[in-house]
Structure 1
Amino acid sequence: MKSPDGTEDWIVYHATSGIADGWNNRRARAQLVLWGENGLPSFGKPLSTDTAIPVPSGSGIFLAEHAGTAEGGGLLFDSLPLGAGAAQQTPLLLHYRNATGTDAALRLEAHGGEPV
């Protein structure tokens, strides 16, 4: 798949960590695909699930500490880039941590519209 800005190719796949896992214990993974001079993809060696990977080019990283405060005390990001194409969609990956041990709720609004 292409990165949001269209400059990189990525492979998304699932794999196990152990040779005896078979179809069990599979985890989703993503990795940058490089291209050889012969035009063939070079997938490289599969990365460990403990390996941090950079985000795809054009994804951007928006941290809570850089957000404004929305009405009601939530976080407000003024502008997130839209993806290319007619659909103007962009993937959103939300990392969170709830160390309270209790249930937590998330409300997400796009373009000031209805929660999604």
Structure 2
Amino acid sequence: MSSNEKMVNFLKQIDDEILFAIDRVMTAGIDYLIVAMSAETFWEGIEGNRAFVRRLEDYTDLKVASAASACQAALEAFKVNKIGVITPYQPVVNETVAASSVILGSRLSV
């Protein structure tokens, strides 16, 4: 993405399309859904992640793991409070992910 505006628009498109992608994945008869997307699960902090997970759990009737939830679990499991993240994203996403990490009780260096 060549600008913050294009990146935010791209994330909106993903949000608009994610349920269609999940419909296709559900045809495999899965028991658990792991969403390994990062920016979308950190957007709007911990509440944004909770809403994202809840939306997909309500839609699928499955348990859902997200990237933000996995980061939090890893931080707790390894008893660390600072990790580094390398991303291909525009600054708007990096800033959002870093700001969200403070809410999660950790510190991400992006």
Query: TM-score, length-normalised on structure 2?
Result: 0.29
Q: Which structure is higher in strand share?
A: 1
The normalised TM-score by structure 1 is: 0.28
Q: Going by fraction, where is helix more abundant, 1 or 2?
A: 2
- Please identify the structure whose Cα radius of gyration is greater: 1
**Higher relative contact order, structure no. (Cα contacts within 8 Å, ≥ 6 residues apart):** 2
